[in-house]
Structure 1
C-alpha cells in the first residue's frame, strides 16, 4: 500500500508548548486545541468506519498529550495522530512531498546515492522523515511501528539541502532523478517563503518543516 508524505512548517517551540498545557491555555492555544479536537473526532470516525482499534481513541490520546503524558504504550499510533493534529493547528497548510510504495526504502536509496556524490549527511532526508516527535517534549511519546510517522527538518537547512541536491542531480541514478528534482523544487519554495517571512513579518517564528508519513 502506498504511503503519503506531507509537510508543513511551524515554530517547534509553539508546538511543544501545547503539550501539558491543558489547564493553562492562552486564547490562541485554545483555538488550536479546539481545532485539534474536531480533527481528532474526524480521524476517529474514519478509524471506526474501518474497524481499526489503536488502543485509545484519537480524542483520548489528544487529552493525554494536553495533560502532559503519553502513558499508554499500546496507543502509539493514536498519540502520533493526535500530535499531528496539534502540529497542523500551529502550522502552514500541508503540502504533499510525494506518494511512495516504500518511503523508507526509497529515501534510504536516495540518501546512499547523494552521499556517494558527496552530499553532507546532515542534509540527507531519510532520518529526518522518521525522526519522531520533538525531543523537547518533556515526556516520552511512544513510536508507532505502522505509523503515522512524524519527522522534522530545520527550515534553515532547506536551501543548503536543495543546493547540494541540485549540484549532483544530473549524476544520480535515473530511477531517482525525477523524484529528487521535485524534492529540490519543494525545498527551494519553502526556503523562499521562510526567507521572505523572516525578513518582512515581525511575528513570524517558524523554524521547522514537519513531515507526516501516513497511509
Structure 2
C-alpha cells in the first residue's frame, strides 16, 4: 500500500487553541470548529462506508481532544485521534501541498537519514525525524496510530533554511537513488522559508503568524 505525504503551514497556537479548549473559544474559532466537525463526520462516513471500525469514531475523538483527553482504550484509538487532530490542523492551515507518494515512506526516509548522518548532517535536521515527529513538544500527547498511519509531523518554519542548506551541501555526495527526492525536499523547504522570511517585518506581525510546517502522512 502506498502512502502520501502532504504539508501545510499554520500558526501552531491556532491549532493548540482547540486542544483542551472545553468550549472556551472565540466566535471565529467556534465557526472554524463547525467546519472541523463537518469534515470529521464526512471522514467517519467514508470509513463506515468502507467497513473500517477503529473502535472510536473521529467525531468522538475530536470531542475527547476538545476536552483535553486521549484516554480511549480502543485498539485503534490513535488512528481516530490523529485523524481528528489533522482535521483541526487542516481547518487552521494553508492549502496543502503534496510532497510525494511512496510505497514505504518510513523505510525510505529512514535510509535517507542514514545517508545524511553518514555525510555529517546534524541529527536535528534529519528528515525522518520531523516527517514522523508528531506534534510540537508543547502539544498534548497523541497516541500513535496502530499501523503507523495516519501520522503527523512538524518542522518550525524558522528551521527550514538550515535543513535545506544542510541537504544541499551533501547532495552531490549522496547515493544517486536518493538525490531526486532530496532535491525535491530542498526546493520545497527553500520555498517555504522564502515565504516565511518575506513576512517577518513589522507590517506582517499581526497579519501572518504562521510559524510551523505540519506534515500529513496517510
User: Is 1:65 matched with 2:65?
Assistant: yes
Q: Which runs of 4+ in 1 moved over 4 A?
A: none
1:44 paired residue number: 44
1:73 partner SS:
coil
User: Which digits, 9 at most, give the CA deviation of each residue in 1:55-91, with x for residues without a partner?
Assistant: 1111111111112111203211011000000011111
TM-score by length of 1: 0.94
Following superposition, the deviation at residue 36 of structure 1 comes to: 0.8
Following superposition, the deviation at residue 192 of structure 1 comes to: 0.8
Greater Cα shift, 29-38 or 179-188: 29-38
1:167-182 aligned at under 5 Å gives the runs 167-182=169-184
2:211 paired residue number: 207
2:199 partner SS:
helix
CA distance in 2, matches of 1:56, 1:117: 44
User: Which digits, 9 at most, give the CA deviation of each residue in 1:142-166, with x for residues without a partner?
Assistant: 1112220011111111011111111
1:18 partner SS:
coil
CA distance in 1, matches of 2:143, 2:162: 32
- Structure 1 residues not aligned, in runs of 5+: none
TM-score by length of 2: 0.93
1:111 paired residue number: 113
CA distance in 2, matches of 1:184, 1:133: 22
CA distance in 2, matches of 1:72, 1:135: 22
1:184-199 aligned at under 5 Å gives the runs 184-199=186-201
Following superposition, the deviation at residue 105 of structure 1 comes to: 0.6
User: Which digits, 9 at most, give the CA deviation of each residue in 1:76-133, with x for residues without a partner?
Assistant: 1011000000011111111111111111111111111111112111111111111223
2:200 partner SS:
helix
